[in-house]
């Protein structure tokens, strides 16, 4: 059974106004003193600072069982909420701030160097994503997975869409985070590479350009982790509901497992042009599950529900073998019925006319 772990970036917000607060340093310090035990022999279970002081990142330890992963996600969010409460803040699983905000760069050498090099791209970059790590057996297996999951990643973006508001206005997108994130010069889909050596050569060439500062800035939609023996899928918004985080993680694991099975069976990766994948990502970012998505096989627009059904069929065998099929079927049925976080955010705003209510609702759901 492949293990899977997640990293979630969360906003720190003021309890009354809902405005983001620059308190990451204090929250991380308090989280380090949390009495809840964390297994120090395995990675994960931490609360860390991120690019901007108005956000933190929590992560889980790798799990093979989805129920254990769900508990780990809930524990990570609770740990962050306790630490934030200790400095008068709340945490909110929102991929962008609904309210206007002036991001403040975390005063660490690497982040300050990024601010100097990338200007407004960095200084406006207050976004919160969901990163899923799926274990693989070495670079060859990892690249085989990257080559074959790339066409399905826009669907994961649509499922997670949770950032309709930007600087106090409706962006018109389900995931405006992905639009802001795409400003980084190294962000986006990879081409089919075919081997671990080709992947390493691609990394070498990009770093030799001296545009990305380091390998950590190779912001591909999915990549080989530099720290762990995993494929790291980075395309999703942070999910409003913890159960949707687990749903995305289950689909990510099944995609990797299906890809490796196809590779071992000698089935080639689909040679979908990167330019078409960029269009598929834009389509998913624009409407989430509210309209159409691009079909990964034909490249033509289809109802979002039909493309989600195609994803489920694609990974059904891997889900069944892992014992995850019933959970994912129910999760997708529920998600298609209620919509992802962006739909809920807009519904709250339509009812009240106040973006503070959107943040307050997110705070309640994040810690639940």
Q: Distance between CA 15 and CA 324 in Å, rounded?
A: 37
C-alpha–C-alpha distance, residues 315 and 304, integer Å: 17
Q: Which string of b and e fits 257-279 if b means at least 16 CB within 10 Å?
A: bbbbebbeeeeebeebeeeebee
Terminal Cα-to-Cα distance of the chain (whole angstroms)? 29
Please say if the pLDDT value at position 215 is more than 80.
yes
Question: In this model, does residue 39 exceed pLDDT 90?
Answer: no
User: Residue 356: in which H helix or E strand, if any?
Assistant: helix 355-367
CA angle 290, 257, 229 (to 5 degrees): 110
Average pLDDT, the chain: 96
Region 182-205 average pLDDT: 97
d(CA 63, CA 65): 6
CA distances 56 to 80, 98, 129, 228, Å, are 8, 17, 11, 21
pLDDT band at 20 (very low <50, low <70, confident <90, very high): very high
**How much is the pLDDT for 45?**
84
Average pLDDT of the residues in 313-328: 97
Give the mean model confidence (pLDDT) for residues 83-98: 97
Per-residue pLDDT band for 33 (boundaries 50, 70, 90) equals confident
Q: What is the pLDDT of residue 41?
A: 60
- The pLDDT confidence band at residue 315, using thresholds 50, 70 and 90, is very high
pLDDT band per the 50, 70, 90 thresholds, residue 32: confident
Q: What is the DSSP letter of 173?
A: -
Pick 131 or 1 by higher pLDDT.
131
pLDDT of residue 44: 78
Fold classification of 4-367 (topology level): Creatine Kinase; Chain A, domain 2 (3.30.590)
Nearest-angstrom CA–CA distance, 238 and 240 = 7
pLDDT tens by residue, 103-117: 999 999 999 999 999
d(CA 3, CA 167) in angstroms, rounded, equals 37
Q: Check pLDDT > 70 for residue 1.
A: yes
- Report residue 44 as tokens: 């994960």
Domain boundaries, the chain: 4-367
pLDDT-derived band at 38 (thresholds 50, 70, 90) equals: low
For 235, the token pair is: 């395309």
Stated pTM of the model: 0.95
- Tally the C-alpha atoms within 13 A of residue 305's C-alpha that lie toward its C-beta: 8
| pLDDT, tens digit (0-9, with 9 covering 90-100), for 255-283 | 999 999 999 999 999 999 999 999 999 99
Structure tokens at 332: 């997708």
- 163, β-bridge pairs: 175
pLDDT in the model for residue 248: 98
- What is the per-residue pLDDT across 332-365, written as a single tens digit (0 to 9) for each? 999 999 999 999 999 999 999 999 999 999 999 9
Cα angle 80-84-89, degrees, rounded to a multiple of 5: 140
């Amino acid at each position: 059974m492949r293990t899977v772990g997640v990293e979630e970036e969360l906003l720190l917000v003021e309890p009354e106004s809902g405005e983001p607060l620059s308190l990451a340093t204090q929250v991380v310090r308090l989280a380090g003193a949390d009495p809840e035990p964390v297994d120090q022999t395995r990675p994960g279970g931490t609360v860390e600072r991120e690019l901007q002081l108005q956000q933190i990142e929590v992560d889980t330890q790798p799990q093979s069982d989805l129920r254990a992963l769900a508990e780990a996600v809930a524990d990570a969010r609770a740990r962050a909420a306790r630490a934030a409460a200790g400095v008068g803040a709340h945490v909110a699983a929102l991929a962008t701030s609904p309210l206007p905000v002036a991001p403040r760069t975390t005063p660490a050498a690497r982040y300050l160097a990024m601010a100097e090099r990338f200007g407004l791209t960095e200084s406006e970059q207050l976004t919160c994503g969901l990163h899923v790590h799926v274990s693989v057996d070495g670079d060859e297996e990892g690249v085989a997975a990257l080559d074959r999951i790339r066409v399905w990643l826009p669907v994961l973006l649509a499922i997670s869409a949770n950032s309709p508001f930007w600087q106090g206005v409706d962006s018109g997108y389900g995931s405006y985070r992905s639009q802001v994130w795409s400003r980084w010069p190294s962000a986006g889909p990879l081409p089919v590479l075919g081997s671990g050596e080709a992947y390493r050569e691609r990394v070498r060439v990009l770093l030799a350009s001296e545009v990305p500062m380091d390998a950590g800035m190779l912001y591909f939609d999915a990549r080989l982790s530099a720290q762990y023996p995993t494929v790291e899928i980075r395309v999703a918004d942070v999910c409003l509901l913890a159960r949707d985080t687990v749903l995305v993680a289950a689909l990510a694991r099944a995609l990797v497992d299906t890809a490796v099975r196809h590779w071992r069976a000698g089935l080639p990766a689909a040679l979908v042009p990167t330019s078409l994948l960029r269009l598929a990502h834009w389509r998913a970012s624009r409407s989430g599950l509210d309209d159409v998505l691009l079909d990964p096989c034909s490249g033509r627009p289809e109802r979002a529900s039909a493309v989600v059904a195609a994803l489920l069929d694609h990974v059904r065998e891997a889900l069944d073998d892992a014992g995850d099929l019933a959970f994912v079927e129910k999760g997708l049925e529920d998600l298609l019925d209620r919509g992802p976080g962006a739909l809920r955010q807009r519904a709250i705003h339509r009812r009240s006319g106040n973006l503070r209510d959107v943040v307050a609702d997110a705070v309640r759901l994040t810690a639940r």
